[in-house]
């Protein structure tokens, strides 16, 4: 993207909460601030925590829900794949927006996230991408209006900047009303990891089965400057994520260890 907001831009929307999720509705209103050429290709059911999975071993069915809106029996990454290589192959989107996810995607959680992975897939294809997530209340209610309000400012600003290749932008909105938000903070990814939780249950035939849950991360001192810190302190958090996973500081050390 070369410095300025594109005229007649095309935007692709995707998510991992499913085609009928309220966050996708909010994302659609958000995108309509920039263009009418908005397309949606999203999973038919919730695929949260699908990460960057591609479906290889069974077919994908698509359904046209309305003009420019398709549901897919696959993962968020399948949706972007299908959009770019089939539905929109004659004219790729200029921007991909993924979300707005129900619940934040911060710390180590982003490695599981289907929301982030959809943005990753578009980034790998060279398309500027933003993942957006709205922190939840813990009681089932979500302040979607906060994401819609602050998301507009952020997308506008992002479109006016040059975009680094292989970098996507991860945006998280705090659990506050739009006027309570303190501002925008550019943060780095925290290393917070949610503790795992398994429920062991018995089915009607007496067999044991398990259901993965999630405990709140253990209380610890927040590290200033991270995505977790920014959200807890009432800021919208913006983190640039790089898709090349090489850990550069280890290169020299490992070279010495293996080659000397
Ligand atoms: Mn989700």
| One-character DSSP codes across 85-133 | IIITTTS--SEEEEEEEES---GGGGGT-HHHHHHHHHHHTT--EEEEE
- Largest pairwise CA distance in the chain: 62
What residues form DSSP beta bridges with 239? 170
pLDDT at 192: 84
Asked whether the predicted pLDDT for residue 3 surpasses 50, the reply is no
d(CA 95, CA 78): 17
Question: Which of 86-100, 179-193, 206-220 is predicted with the least confidence, judged by mean pLDDT?
Answer: 206-220
**What value does the mean pLDDT take over residues 162-177?**
94
Ligand 1 centroid to 182 CA: how many Å?
25
Ligand 1 centroid to 234 CA: how many Å?
21
Ligand 1 centroid to 47 CA: how many Å?
7
Distances in whole angstroms, Cα of residue 215 to Cα of each of 18, 98, 174: 23, 25, 19
Ligand 1 centroid to 223 CA: how many Å?
25
Ligand 1 centroid to 18 CA: how many Å?
8
Ligand 1 centroid to 101 CA: how many Å?
5
Residue 100: asked if its preceding bond is cis (omega within 30°), the reply is yes
Asked whether the predicted pLDDT for residue 129 surpasses 80, the reply is yes
Question: Which of 18-32, 49-63, 96-110, 191-205 is predicted with the least confidence, judged by mean pLDDT?
Answer: 191-205
Under 8 Å between Cβ of 10 and 122: no
- What DSSP character marks residue 49? T
Q: Categorize the per-residue pLDDT at 4 as very low, low, confident or very high, splitting at 50, 70 and 90.
A: very low
Ligand 1 centroid to 142 CA: how many Å?
13
Ligand 1 centroid to 104 CA: how many Å?
9
Q: What is the pTM of this model?
A: 0.94
Question: Which of 19-23, 157-161, 212-216, 252-256 is predicted with the least confidence, judged by mean pLDDT?
Answer: 212-216
Of 150 and 164, which is predicted with more confidence?
150
């Amino acid at each position: 993207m070369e410095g300025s907001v594109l005229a007649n831009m095309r935007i692709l929307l995707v998510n991992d909460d499913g085609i009928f999720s309220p966050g996708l509705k909010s994302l659609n209103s958000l995108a309509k601030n920039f263009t009418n050429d908005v397309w949606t290709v999203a999973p038919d059911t919730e695929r949260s925590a699908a990460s960057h999975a591609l479906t290889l071993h069974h077919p994908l069915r698509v359904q046209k829900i309305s003009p420019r809106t398709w549901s897919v029996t696959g993962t968020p990454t399948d949706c972007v794949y299908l959009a770019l290589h089939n539905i929109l192959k004659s004219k790729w989107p200029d921007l991909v927006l993924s979300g707005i996810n129900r619940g934040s995607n911060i710390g180590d959680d982003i490695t599981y996230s289907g929301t982030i992975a959809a943005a990753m897939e578009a980034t790998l294809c060279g398309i500027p991408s933003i993942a957006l997530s709205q922190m939840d209340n813990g009681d089932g209610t979500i302040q979607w209006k906060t994401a819609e309000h602050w998301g507009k400012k952020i997308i506008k600003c992002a479109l006016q900047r040059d975009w680094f290749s292989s970098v996507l932008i991860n945006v998280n909105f705090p659990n506050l009303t739009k006027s309570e938000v303190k501002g925008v903070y550019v943060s780095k990814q925290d290393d917070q990891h949610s503790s795992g939780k398994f429920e062991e249950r018995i089915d009607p035939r007496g067999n044991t089965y398990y259901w993965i849950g999630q405990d709140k991360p253990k209380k610890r001192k927040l590290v200033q400057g991270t995505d977790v810190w920014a959200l807890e302190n009432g800021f919208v958090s913006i983190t640039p994520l790089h898709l090349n996973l090489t850990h550069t500081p280890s290169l020299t050390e490992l070279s010495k260890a293996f080659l000397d």
